[in-house]
């Protein structure tokens, strides 16, 4: 099986494809019987995963990420709402029909879940054996999959003889064995070192691009979101608080939780000695701190020089960074200038004229 490398996830600049996975007003509550207190893990979740997309769901521990993914593959049933995969309402199926539909949903796990007494070949073959495939059919499917994930020479090795990255590659091959339409990834890289993580993410991008496979990826690592997804949903306290194209959420985060995640990976966090001294109102002799965000092909332009010459003011550089999200550059620059309202307004107007996003962070003495 031959794949052409894909350096970046697909983008949808003009229109979003139809959703392959749909969650409609989904709620999941545990407990509440025999005197126990009910715990609501998910609150009225509505989410679409476009066909062929890699959508990441990011949140802190306990935010509801794993519950969400278990609803998609039918391991959990919603208390309320609908879970629809490729037009089939998973939450309305009986157990037999659910088993049949699960063949179109592949799953990879944080801790690999390989059977220790089965070889790499036999682990990948397991879903096909359960589905009743013949030995010839199994061999014709498994060996190309092991070749796809770069493990054709490890077919007869046991999990104990494989590295963590190799085990996860076997897990990916196994998830693809039944030729699924959807691949679910539940913290699949969090047990791996950074170099191996990047290799696994590169493989997921290739699989997505070449097999047109829709991927729903659960993670608490913003670096994973940045590297592989083209859309992202931020979950906090069982609610989706923000959702959209990855580039948009990185460059224009709206919710405080999103801003916190983004700042941890883009270097947008102010130094602690400044953040602790910020005031919402100007003080005598204070400076105003302004974050300028620039995106796309203009990210490498000398905006600071242009602004300084145009306004004839001194701008102090507090912090600066240029990064790439989905192959597109964006940069941030935090500058300081005297806390004069006329000066601030002039800086704001001139920056916006240059296509920059302007955010006043506060005042510091």
Instruction: Mark whether 278 and 260 lie in a shared domain.
Output: no
Instruction: Mark whether 310 and 344 lie in a shared domain.
Output: yes
Instruction: Mark whether 220 and 293 lie in a shared domain.
Output: no
pLDDT band at residue 15 using 50, 70 and 90 as cut-offs = low
Instruction: Mark whether 189 and 76 lie in a shared domain.
Output: yes
Instruction: Mark whether 193 and 72 lie in a shared domain.
Output: yes
Enclosing domain of residue 294: 272-364
Q: What is the mean pLDDT of residues 23-50?
A: 87
Share of the chain above pLDDT 70, in %: 90
For residue 296, is pLDDT > 70?
A: no
For residue 299, is pLDDT > 90?
A: no
pLDDT band at residue 151 using 50, 70 and 90 as cut-offs = very high
Total domains in the fold of the chain? 2
What SS3 string covers the chain? CCCCCCCCCCCCCCCCCCEEEEEEEEEEEECCCCCCCCEEEEEEEEEEEECCCEEEEECCCCCCHHHHHHHHCCCCCCCEEEEEECCEEHHHCCHHHHHHHHCCEEEEECCCCCCCCCCHHHHHHHHHHHCCCCHHHHHHHHHHHHHHCCCHHHCCCCHHHCCHHHHHHHHHHHHCCCCCCEEEEECCCCCCCHHHHHHHHHHHHHHHHHHCCEEEEEECCHHHHHHHCCEEEEEECCEEEEEEEHHHHHHCCCCHHHHHHHHHHHCCCCCHHHHCCCECCCCCCCEEEEEEEEEHHHHHCCHHHHHHHHHCCCCEEEEEEEEEECCEEEEEEEEEEECCHHHHHHHHHHHHHCCCEEEEEEEEC
Instruction: Mark whether 223 and 298 lie in a shared domain.
Output: no
The 10s digit of each residue's pLDDT in 215-267 is 999 999 888 998 899 999 999 999 999 999 998 888 888 899 998 888 776 65
Q: What's the pLDDT score for residue 216?
A: 96
- Determine, yes or no, domain membership for 159: no
pLDDT band at residue 36 using 50, 70 and 90 as cut-offs = low
Q: Supply the mean pLDDT for the chain.
A: 86
Instruction: Mark whether 236 and 314 lie in a shared domain.
Output: no
Q: What's the pLDDT score for residue 233?
A: 96
- Determine, yes or no, domain membership for 141: no
> 5-14, 302-311, 323-332 — which is least confidently predicted?
5-14
> 43-57, 88-102, 311-325 — which is least confidently predicted?
311-325
For residue 8, is pLDDT > 60?
A: no
């Amino acid at each position: 099986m031959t794949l052409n490398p894909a350096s970046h996830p697909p983008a949808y600049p003009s229109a979003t494809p139809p959703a392959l996975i749909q969650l409609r007003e989904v709620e999941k509550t545990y407990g509440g019987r025999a005197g126990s207190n009910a715990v609501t893990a998910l609150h009225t979740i509505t989410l679409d995963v476009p066909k062929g997309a890699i959508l990441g769901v990011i949140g802190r521990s306990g935010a509801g990420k794993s519950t969400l993914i278990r609803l998609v593959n039918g391991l959990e049933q919603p208390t309320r709402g609908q879970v629809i995969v490729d037009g089939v309402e998973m939450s309305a199926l009986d157990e037999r029909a659910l088993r049949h539909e699960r063949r179109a949903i592949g799953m990879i796990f944080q801790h690999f879940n390989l059977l220790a007494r089965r070889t790499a070949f036999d682990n990948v073959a397991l879903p096909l054996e359960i589905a009743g495939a013949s030995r010839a059919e199994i061999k014709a499917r498994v060996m190309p999959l092991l070749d796809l994930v770069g493990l054709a020479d490890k077919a007869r090795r046991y999990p104990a003889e494989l590295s963590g990255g190799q085990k996860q590659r076997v897990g990916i091959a196994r998830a693809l064995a039944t030729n699924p339409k959807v691949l679910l990834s539940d913290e699949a890289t969090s047990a791996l070192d950074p170099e191996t993580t990047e290799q696994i993410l590169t493989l997921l991008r290739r699989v997505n691009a070449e097999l047109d496979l829709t991927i729903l990826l659960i993670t608490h690592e913003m670096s994973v979101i940045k590297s592989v997804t083209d859309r992202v949903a931020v979950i906090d306290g069982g609610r989706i608080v923000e959702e959209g194209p990855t580039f948009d959420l990185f460059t224009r985060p709206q919710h405080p939780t999103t801003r916190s995640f983004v700042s941890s990976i883009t270097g947008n966090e102010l130094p602690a000695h400044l953040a602790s001294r910020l005031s919402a109102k100007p003080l005598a002799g204070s400076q105003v701190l302004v974050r300028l965000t620039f995106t796309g092909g203009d990210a490498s332009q000398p905006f600071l020089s242009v602004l300084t010459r145009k306004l004839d003011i001194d701008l102090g550089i507090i912090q600066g960074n240029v990064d790439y999200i989905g192959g597109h550059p964006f940069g941030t620059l935090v500058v300081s200038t005297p806390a004069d309202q006329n000066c601030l307004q002039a800086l704001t107007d001139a920056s916006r004229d240059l296509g920059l996003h302007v955010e006043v962070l506060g005042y510091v003495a």
